[in-house]
Structure 1
Amino acid sequence: MSIYAEVIGDPIAQSKSPAIHNFWIDRLGLDAKYRACHVKPDGLAAYLAERRADPDWRGCNVTMPHKQAVIPLLDRMDPLAETIGAVNTIIREDDGTLTGFNTDAGGFLEPLRPVLARKHLFRMARVLGTGGAARAIIAALAREHFVIVLAGRNPAKARALLDELDPMGEHHAIDLDHFADITEFTFDDREGCCDLIVNASPLGMEGQPPLPFDFSHAPPGSIIYDIVTHPLDTPLLTAAREKGFETLDGLNMLIGQAAEAFERFFGAVPPREDDDAELRAILTS
């Protein structure tokens, strides 16, 4: 049998991970497979016990609701995953031990790398949402020396999240509704600054209301980043482009985190010479 990896979750049918990984496997001609596996919470321990005994199984990606539940079942944790408190990638080592990683943080930062390579006088990110995805985003931005304004329906939860993930940082927690209303605040000279607006919530996703955000809160030159993938062109991104802002869509993070996991699973760099254009076309068809 060829080597294989999987993505697990409950539900799992909606996952785009098999399409991404199998696209790269086919392009590289690897003798490998990647598949989705529906694992319910009460079957998680049994699944990992069975897979750790299989030398052909290289590991799995982990999606909701298992990103925190898997932690007690692992032998080791990568330091970044430990800081974030969530695992989205499990690797089976040669001796059968299981190590937990979080590639969401690196995937989120990947399209920002050219910007982050520059020197800035100040970096600020306004992050909207306090769910599971926000954990990796906050940890990633804190490591890149951003001051974070975290907005949530429950500001106390936002404050607790900031204190947990970066207790030494000078960050701010605020109610999500703050960004829905017009502000007359006049931004100072933003030259030499890096400003991000990040939608880390499900708002704007199909079946959800749009994200309530007034662009008077976006400093000139801000990058607007929405991690929602369905639809890919969210109301937030559409409005941002109309106002002349640079935008990043959710496939950036999704493909970026998958690329990091792919290398760990299969020991090969995924082919991305066309800036993922062909893969994006498949994922949005």
Structure 2
Amino acid sequence: MADIRRRAAVLGSPIAHSLSPVLHRAAYAELGLDDWSYDRFEVDEAALPGFVEALDPAWAGLSLTMPLKRAVIPLLDGISPTAASVEAVNTVVFTEDGRRVGDNTDIPGMIAALRERGVEKVESAAILGAGATASSALAALAVICAGPVTAYVRSKERGDEMRGWGQRLGVDVRVADWADGGRALDAPLVIATTPAGTTDALATGVPERPGILFDVLYEPWPTPLAAGWSARGGAVVGGLDLLVHQALLQVEQMTGLSPAPLAAMRRAGEAALAGR
């Protein structure tokens, strides 16, 4: 085994479930980066500053998951316009001159995953949920959605947040009650951003001729909603698609090599999920 020259890792809490090491290591193997390592570390918001300060020059970058995507911003020297648009960073690159630069690859990852399935533009869309992933979905829809986006939320506060993100991103956001979530399924594009189990009750209400479903979950897969959607002949984009595309962009930024090996990364992710 080659001596490790460059390091990267994913941080978050909880982190044991993360597929990021599988995807990044598959990319390194395909790119011949035998002296690169990619690990996972359980790090919460309180521990993050100390972890970052302790990193040595061997570190090329970090991937960040919840709850660190906003907590990391004060520790950085700069962030990209994409990250600034949703105030969330999932990627940190350490530059040769020692700067820490943050980016958000979730947003272009969503767009790339949809375009891979032939989705270039939609006239309207629906979002199920109103958390951090929903704001990234709104940013993606700012690029590919020509008309209004209806967000199905559980509280007035969440609805106000989504309207605020819409104003900031230039998206016409309309808010609806979660209890009416079944109506979302008639939209040309539905993006489900909620935790596992939350949309299960909607699975029996998939329309006869569904449009496109983007379900950001990848485990368990398929979700009941995704399975019901496929059974009706609808197109489904899954969480693994998003994970692979956002990781691909991270690999390219951290290593400086492009293109990253999309097919190899997807195969590794599929194999890892099949083995769980």
Indicate whether the TM-score tops 0.5. yes
User: Where do 5+ consecutive residues of structure 2 fail to align?
Assistant: none
Match of 1:197 among 190, 202, 215: 190
- Give the equivalent residue in structure 2 for 1:100: 102
Match of 1:280 among 255, 265, 270: 270
One-letter code of the match for 2:72?
V
Whether the 8 Å contact between 2:129 and 2:152 is mirrored in structure 1 is yes
1:170-226 deviation digits (Å, cap 9, x = unpaired): 22011111124799xxx8xxxxxx820111111xx2xx4543326767594510111
RMSD: 2.4
- Give the equivalent residue in structure 1 for 2:131: 131
Indicate the structure with greater helix content.
2
- In the alignment, the residues of structure 2 paired with residue 38 and residue 89 of structure 1 have an alpha-carbon distance, to the nearest angstrom, of 16
TM-score (norm 2): 0.88
Q: How does 1:45-194 map to 2 (within 5 A)?
A: 45-51=49-55, 54-114=56-116, 115-117=118-120, 123-146=123-146, 147-167=148-168, 168-180=170-182
One-letter code of the match for 1:49?
E
Q: How many residues align?
A: 267
- In the alignment, the residues of structure 1 paired with residue 207 and residue 264 of structure 2 have an alpha-carbon distance, to the nearest angstrom, of 31
TM-score (norm 1): 0.85
One-letter code of the match for 1:7?
V
One-letter code of the match for 1:3?
R
Match of 2:41 among 32, 37, 41: 37
- Give the equivalent residue in structure 1 for 2:249: 260
Whether the 8 Å contact between 1:125 and 1:195 is mirrored in structure 2 is yes
Please, which moves more after superposition, 161-170 or 36-45?
Answer: 161-170
Match of 2:200 among 197, 207, 211: 211
- In the alignment, the residues of structure 2 paired with residue 128 and residue 48 of structure 1 have an alpha-carbon distance, to the nearest angstrom, of 34
Cα distance, 1:144 vs structure 2: 2.2
Cα distance, 1:95 vs structure 2: 1.4
User: Where do 5+ consecutive residues of structure 1 fail to align?
Assistant: 188-193
- In the alignment, the residues of structure 1 paired with residue 256 and residue 39 of structure 2 have an alpha-carbon distance, to the nearest angstrom, of 18
Identity of aligned residues (%): 29
Whether the 8 Å contact between 1:228 and 1:250 is mirrored in structure 2 is yes
